[in-house]
Chain A
Amino acid sequence: MNMHIKVTTDDKDRALLAAIQDGLPLCERPFAEIGKVTNMSEEQVIARIEHMRQQGIISRFGLVLQHRPLGYRANAMVVWNVPDQEVDEAAKIITAHDFVTLCYCRARRAPVWQFNLYCMIHGQQRSIVEQQIETIKSAGLAPYPSKTLFSLRRFKQTGARFSTTPENERRLG
């Protein structure tokens, strides 16, 4: 999946994302309620969300859950240092495993951080997650230097914030 997606959004889309960032109201006509705070009709709200979903700006729309209260406490970020020209192939191996939640390539920061390929695994037991990481390594990632960083404390987790202050709206435009 490429991050360089062509997107067309305007201030109204951003206002809409800001209005729903804490969640859709739990009532009979939630999109109508969002329309009231954004000065749009229910139909416009729905059409704009649908459009952003089709464009891939919204990667999914639905229930957003916390892993931890459901018992998913073994949360590992595994990082590899893979030569740039081999990253796509390595990512293909990683994402072929259905226990992988996310897989990203990020910039390296030599000399403190030489890793560029990341994946997240959310599991219920550390020992199982460790086995899953070994499975990925056996499938072809073993030659590359890697590190596993389990999460300890969660200080904060919310969705991305979209500001609605006039100053920010100008900067966004």
Chain B
Amino acid sequence: MTLLTPIEKTLINGWQNGFPLTSNPYAQIADEMNVSEQTVLDILVSLKQRGILTRVGAVVRPNTIGASSLVAMAIEPDRLEEVADYICSIPQVNHNYERENKLNLWFVVTASSKSEVDEILHKIENHTGLKTIKLPLEKAFHIDLGFNI
């Protein structure tokens, strides 16, 4: 596990939400943390290089723009990697995990419309010869607001 310095923890715990929407956001964060803007930028670059930070940006609520669905597939173990690699190559796939179940591949398709989601699933079924199980969101009770470390 990657170790974090106290200042990295402060940045991570403080700014997963409520990022300043101002001209100089990193300078504003730096002010509140009592460090220089360059320090904040250097930490963000370092977190990114270490694979901890994906991006500074927006998390978009599902189904407010375009359409998306969770999809599950049951894949023979000896084909799992091949199928998973193919699915990762589809730009509209934005999460793809192996999970402990007969349905062992779980991914999210996000596209401009419901019909485009269906087209992509159809393409996957044709390419792999396997069924896709579409599990669209009906209601969100709790959404990702970041986490404390």
A23, B141: Cα distance in complex, Å = 27
A46, B19: Cα distance in complex, Å = 11
Query: In this complex, what residue of B is CB-closest to A168?
Result: B112
How large, as a class, is the contact surface on chain A? 35 or more
Q: How many residues of B contact A (CB 8 A)?
A: 82
Contact A152 B57 (CB under 8 A): no
Contact A104 B141 (CB under 8 A): yes
Decide if A40 is an interface residue (CB 8 Å cutoff): no
Interface SS of chain B: helix, strand, loop or mixed? mixed
CB distance from A100 to the nearest CB of B (A): 6
Binds B, one of A129-137, A138-146, A153-161: A153-161
Contact A22 B135 (CB under 8 A): no
Contact B59 A159 (CB under 8 A): yes
CB distance from A139 to the nearest CB of B (A): 15
Decide if A28 is an interface residue (CB 8 Å cutoff): yes
Q: List 24 A-B contacts (CB under 8 A).
A: A1-B141, A3-B63, A17-B65, A28-B26, A46-B21, A50-B21, A61-B21, A63-B11, A65-B12, A65-B146, A66-B54, A67-B147, A71-B2, A75-B97, A91-B139, A103-B141, A106-B136, A106-B137, A152-B97, A152-B99, A158-B94, A159-B58, A161-B91, A168-B112
**Residue ranges of A at the interface with B (Cβ–Cβ < 8 Å):** 1-3, 5, 7, 9, 13-14, 17, 20-24, 26-32, 42, 46, 49-50, 52-53, 55-67, 69-72, 75, 77, 87-88, 91-92, 94-95, 100-107, 109, 112-113, 116, 119, 122, 124, 147-163, 168, 171-172
